């Protein structure tokens, strides 16, 4: 049981380059999330999706785009990378969001370490 898989694990970009991070989950979860983690900042929500074909902005969406064409996949894109986007990116998924006990537990991937030079 793979859970949440992120690719690639590491990437180095030059300023202005573009790239796409892929997240795949095999738990049939409706909700998927992209976070970034920076030293001293904890995890901050970039974008999320409440189901196939839907996406929404989180706390820090600027400079990123996302797509959820298939239920199991959630893609995070950087159109023109900037040094401020150097970070570790985590994808997560959950069965639902809200008050149902146990249903909104998020399962995380191992992360993608991105450096923008």
If one asks whether residue 27 binds other proteins (CB under 8 A), the answer comes out as: no
Min dist. Cβ of residue 65 to other proteins (A): 16
Residue 5 beta carbon to other proteins: minimum distance, rounded to whole angstroms: 11
- The alpha carbon of 108 is separated from its chain's Cα centroid by a whole number of angstroms, namely 9
Task: Mark the segment that binds other proteins (CB under 8 A) among 12-20, 62-70, 71-79, 90-98.
Answer: 90-98
Of 95, 93, 94, 89, the residue nearest 110 (C-alpha) = 89
Q: Which of 24, 29, 31, 81 binds other proteins (CB under 8 A)?
A: 31
Task: Tell me if the bond preceding 62 is cis, omega within 30° of 0.
Answer: no
**According to the binding rule CB under 8 A, does residue 95 interact with other proteins?**
no
Residue among 53, 52, 54, 61 at smallest CA distance from 34: 61
């Amino acid at each position: 049981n793979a859970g949440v898989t992120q690719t690639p694990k590491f990437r180095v970009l030059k300023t202005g380059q573009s790239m796409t991070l892929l997240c795949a989950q095999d738990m049939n979860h409706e909700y998927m999330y992209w976070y970034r983690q920076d030293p001293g900042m904890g995890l901050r929500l970039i974008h999320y999706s409440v189901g196939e074909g839907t996406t929404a902005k989180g706390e820090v969406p600027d400079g990123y785009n996302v797509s959820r064409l298939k239920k199991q996949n959630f893609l995070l894109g950087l159109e023109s990378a900037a040094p401020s986007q150097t970070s570790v990116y985590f994808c997560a998924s959950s069965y639902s969001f809200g008050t149902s006990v146990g249903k909104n537990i998020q399962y995380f991937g191992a992360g993608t370490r991105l450096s923008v030079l």
